[in-house]
A and B are shown apart, each in its own frame.
Chain A
Amino acid sequence: QLQLQESGPGLVKPSETLSLTCTVSGGSISSSSYYWGWIRQPPGKGLEWIGSIYYSGSTYYNPSLKSRVTISVDTSKNQFSLKLSSVTAADTAVYYCARHQASTVNDAFDIWGQGTMVTVSS
């Protein structure tokens, strides 16, 4: 069955770029039926959608983060990645990758990774 696994540094310095990768196993990231997204959750707080990408490279981002976010896909490795620039302590969070269908903007995240904690601190 399809599984997603986040990986990347757990500690990032302020003003630097946070980089995470999500590896998809048990299925192909190149399926025409799905988008692949990133969601984060600050400690003790709620969920925030960061952005999503299609296997073709088409992306859409949370407008509040758009100026700092880049999501890319590597179909040869069955992975997609997140880069968040100029981070501050407010970017400290558990970062999840997840899948949602590509039918409409209403589609839900039906499969999630386990999440990875990223702390922004010097």
Chain B
Amino acid sequence: QSVLTQPPSVSEAPRQRVTISCSGSSSNIGNNAVNWYQQLPGKAPKLLIYYDDLLPSGVSDRFSGSKSGTSASLAISGLQSEDEADYYCAAWDDSLNGKVFGGGTKLTVL
């Protein structure tokens, strides 16, 4: 079981908006930054969001991140077929003294 909890899958139609949740605790999300990664099929993960809500250079502004308390969310607007991928949240955990990942969410664009 992952320390950070994500829904196994989400789906939405093209051009719509979808959110992916990441639930943690006071020792991780509640006290540390959340980072999000996109993993296209057969590829290495790619940084999507860092420090809760910042976009790396080159990442589309259709992606956005937010955090409240011990939960974080990734939102994708204007869904496109190329957004089909696995999405992972990650954070530092003060109790485990290490970096932890969520179990991942598979996004299907209908």
Q: What residues make up the interface of A, taking CB atoms closer than 8 Å to B?
A: 37, 39, 46-49, 52, 60-64, 96, 104-110, 112-115
Contacts and interface: CB of A to CB of B under 8 A. Distances in A.
Contact of A109 (B33, B45, B100): B45
Given A106-B51, A112-B44, A112-B46, A49 B33 contact: no
B68 interface: no
Interface stretch (B15-23, B74-82, B89-97): B89-97
Given A49-B100, A106-B33, A106-B91, A113 B44 contact: yes
A49 B101 contact: yes
A63 B97 contact: yes
A108 B89 CA distance: 11
Interface residues of B, number: 26
B63 interface: no
Contacts, number: 62
B109 interface: no
Contact of B45 (A37, A62, A96, A105): A96
A114 B88 CA distance: 17
A46 B104 contact: yes
B2 A62 contact: no
A46 B97 CA distance: 19
Given A63-B98, A106-B32, A112-B44, A46 B103 contact: yes
B104 A108 contact: no
Nearest to A62: B98
Contact of A49 (B32, B43, B47, B98): B98
A105 B99 contact: yes
B3 to A, nearest CB: 11
26 contacts: A37-B99, A46-B88, A46-B101, A46-B103, A47-B88, A49-B98, A49-B99, A49-B100, A52-B99, A60-B98, A61-B98, A62-B99, A63-B98, A64-B98, A104-B33, A105-B99, A106-B32, A106-B51, A108-B35, A108-B47, A108-B50, A108-B90, A109-B45, A109-B47, A110-B56, A112-B44
B107 to A, nearest CB: 15
Contact of B44 (A63, A108, A114): A114
A39 B104 CA distance: 14
